[in-house]
Amino acid sequence: MKIVWLSVTIMFVLWFAVMAIARPAAPASITAHESAAGAAELFSRNCAKCHGKDGRAKGIKARTTGTRNLTDAQWQDRVSDERIFNAISNGKGRMPAFGKKLSESEVDSLVQYVRGLKK
Ligand code: HEC
């Protein structure tokens, strides 16, 4: 009887330990993963037709409209996150504004995505 009681106690202790370790880690990693996938999806749906899937703006249409190569390291170093944010929400030159179409947090996630394109 003593052994049964002991193993039940151990099971409970282990269960609580596992929950304590697993709980805080799980939601954070899921959120990070989802927002990265979401930004890639947003980029390919709204931006890739001009900037290209990889952001290089290599197509004929891109070259004739002066579309920015988003992977350009020199440009990346020059611009602030605010400027990228404003270009996306207000538009710039021949680039349309996305401020009405996308939420502020979607534009934010695109700023981070554009930063990740730096070569
Ligand atoms: C219709 C074509 C088109 C679409 C769609 C488009 N862009 Fe652009 N983008 C341009 C052009 C053209 C420029 C260059 C504007 C200029 O500097 O005059 C540009 C410039 C930029 C810049 C640089 C702004 C700066 O201040 O240097 C960023 C960042 C950018 N685009 C991101 C995006 C993102 C993110 C999306 C999708 C939400 C997107 N673009 C959709 C055409 C487009």
Structural domains in the chain plus CATH codes: 32-115 (1.10.760.10)
Tokens (6 digits) for 60: 């004929």
Task: For the chain, list the strands marked E by DSSP.
Answer: none
Express each pLDDT in 50-106 by its tens digit: 999 999 998 887 888 899 999 999 999 999 999 999 999 999 999 999 999 999 999
Q: Provide residues with CB under 6 Å of ligand 1.
A: 46-47, 49-51, 65-68, 70, 79, 83-84, 87-88, 92-96, 98, 110, 114
Pocket test for ligand 1, best of 75, 77, 95, 110 (most atoms within 8 A of CB): 95
Q: Label residue 26 by pLDDT band (50, 70, 90).
A: very low
On the question of pLDDT at 30 being above 50, the answer is: no
Distance CA 115, CA 55 (A): 11
Distance CA 110, CA 115 (A): 8
pLDDT value of residue 15: 74
Identify the bridge partners of residue 92 per DSSP, sorted by sequence position.
95
